[in-house]
Amino acid sequence: MQETKAGVRYAKSLFKLAVERNELDAVSKDMNLLDKTIQENRELGNMLKSPIIKSDKKSKIMHEIFDGKLGASTMSFIDLLIRKRRELIIDQIARQFVVLHLENNNIEEAVISTPFPITEPFRAKVIELIMKNSTNASVELTELIDASLIGGFLLRFGGKQFDGSLSREFEMLRREFDKNLFVKAN
C-alpha cells in the first residue's frame, strides 16, 4: 500500500499525542485492531472511501463497529479524521502508526509466507536469520499460509524479500525452457 504524506503526518501526530498522554500501548493496540479490521473487511474500506456516504453516517458506522473495542482517544481521532474528510486514509494512518510504534520499540516487523504452518524450530531459525540481518532488538514475525507457493517460503522484512519458494523455482525453470538454445527461432 502506498502511504500518502497526509497519512504519515496524521500517524505521527497521533503517535506524539499518545506519547504525551502516556497511552502509546493502548493506542497502538487500537491502531492494530483498526488496521486488521479494515484489511479483512473490504466493505468497511469501501464504505470509508465512498464519496456517496455522508460523514455522519460513516461516523455512526465506525462507532457501531468499534465502541467498546477502541479507546476514547482513538475514537475521538477517528471522528476528527471523518470531520476533516480524511477517512479515505484511515487504513494508511493505522498502518503507519503500527510501523512507528514498532520502530520506537526497536522491533523488526517480518512476514513469512508458507504453504503450510511452520514448526517452532523453523520459526526460531527464521527469527535468528532476521536478527543477524537487522539492527533491531527483537522481531515480530507474522505467519501467512499461501498454498500457491507449493513449497518453501517467502520472507519479507526491512525492505528485503527472500523468495525460496518452489513456485519461483518452477517459474525460473519455465523461463529457461522457453529460451531453448537448440531450436532456431523464426
pLDDT of 2: 55
State the pTM of this model. Answer: 0.71
Report how far residue 134's alpha carbon sits from residue 84's, in angstroms, rounded to the nearest whole number: 38
140: helix, strand or coil: strand
Angstrom distance (rounded) from CA 155 to CA 150: 15
**Alpha-carbon distance 120 to 152, whole Å?**
16
Run means of pLDDT, 10 residues per run, the chain, 186 residues: 79 94 93 92 92 93 93 94 92 91 88 91 90 84 88 86 86 82 64
Please tell me the predicted confidence (pLDDT) of residue 184: 64
pLDDT at 10: 93
How far is the C-alpha of 99 from the C-alpha of 15, rounded, in Å?
Answer: 11
Closest Cα partner for 18 from 78, 94, 73, 67? 73
Whether domain 5-102 has CATH 1.10.520.20: the reply is yes
| CA distances (Å), origin 92, targets 69, 176, 184 | 20, 40, 51
- The rounded distance, in Å, linking the Cα atoms of 6 and 32 is 19
Q: What is the pLDDT of residue 1?
A: 47
Considering the chain, tell me which residue range(s) the CATH 1.10.520.20 domain(s) occupy. Answer: 5-102
Q: Cα dihedral sign for 74, 2, 126, 135?
A: negative
How far apart CA 3 and CA 157 sit, in angstroms, is: 18
Give the DSSP H/E element, type plus range, for residue 112.
strand 107-114
